[in-house]
Amino acid sequence: MVRAVAWDRGPDHRSAGRRGGRRRGDRPVLRAPGAAAATAPDPGYRQYSEADVWRLGLIARGKALGFTLAEIGALLGEGSATAATSAEEVRRAAAAKIDVVDEQVRQLADVRARLERLVATCDEGDAEGCASLATPCR
């Protein structure tokens, strides 16, 4: 079964490259739909197979979990001899991502603590320390 999928180019698709969108030379997320695109029902729609729709869903779920497109590509088996990723490989990738997220949480907690000390410095009336963003060392 082939499904038509809306191709949302956004309010200003011409600036997509400047806002982090796909740029020339980037690897496509999906293989070109080929002849199916020529029979698209309306402008702005392309037709994709169920496998491609599943792949897009997996990519969206991976992005929502914090994986990069390169990491998702590796999980999909792109560039390797095997086309599928084992559950153990997904588990290892997820565990590694947890470690990255934990480090980010630690860094954000440190930034929050320093900001709280800055607010306290400002509240204590230390105008010079407040204006210079000076915070007491840990």
Q: Where are the domains of the chain?
A: 1-66, 86-138
> pTM for the complete prediction?
0.57
Four-residue CA torsion sign, 9, 12, 15, 20: negative
At position 75, the amino acid (one-letter code) is L
pLDDT digits 0-9 by tens, 49-70: 898 898 899 999 999 999 999 9
The residue assigned the tokens 């806002």 is 19
φ, ψ at 78 (rounded to 5°)? -70, 135
Average pLDDT over residues 106-131: 91
The answer to whether residues 101 and 66 touch, using CB atoms and an 8 Å cutoff, is: yes
Task: Answer with the residue of higher pLDDT: 1 or 102.
Answer: 102
